[in-house]
Amino acid sequence: MKEANFSNDNRIAVIDGDITRLTVDAIVNAANEPLIGGGGVDGAIHHAAGPEMMEYCAGLGGCPTGEARITPGFRLAARHVIHTVGPIWIDGQSGEAGFLASCYRNCLQLAVENNVRSVAFPAISTGAYGYPAELATEIAISTVYDALAENSGIEKVIFCCWGSAMTDMYNRVLAQKALKNG
């Protein structure tokens, strides 16, 4: 896994790799509302965590779009999984940006509340939910960048991408954000 740091304080990194294999305090799951596991990163996380994840999630009562829930990591290297439900892309005029930003803010809030110092995010909503990757990346980086400026409790945020095209996009957007904020 290749890592690039562009934030001024090196608290944000971008890697190309498998989020289920990361040794961090928490990984974020791009979940569905009933938290039952699905395709993409959601299915991979549920599979790697083992059946205990499904049992635990069943008792949570779901998760509305934009919110987040935390569970143990079970068989994962990560101690926790923070599940968040991103918006389904409709037209960009239906509140999608606000919901997506809420996903990142709520995940980071749960991280702080649970003494999570390192957290890894996938590209929320960019798969089956159809959010345009460049727009989602800009929201993800901007929201995390701003949240870290307000909170010193989180030491490292990793954007874990799948594939070089997504990794390159995250690196480019992160570098632009870092330059803009000096």
Domains of the chain as residue ranges with CATH = 3-181 (3.40.220.10)
Identify the pLDDT of residue 64.
98
DSSP, res 8: T
Residues classed as catalytic:
42
The string of DSSP codes covering 58-88 is HTTT---TT-EEEEE-TTSSSSEEEEE-PPP
Identify the pLDDT of residue 179.
81
More confident residue, 44 or 151: 44
Identify the pLDDT of residue 4.
53
Percent of the chain surpassing pLDDT 90:
86
Least confident of 3-7, 25-29, 96-100, 111-115: 3-7
3 pLDDT above the threshold of 60:
no
State how far the Cα of 99 lies from the Cα of 15, in Å rounded to an integer: 24
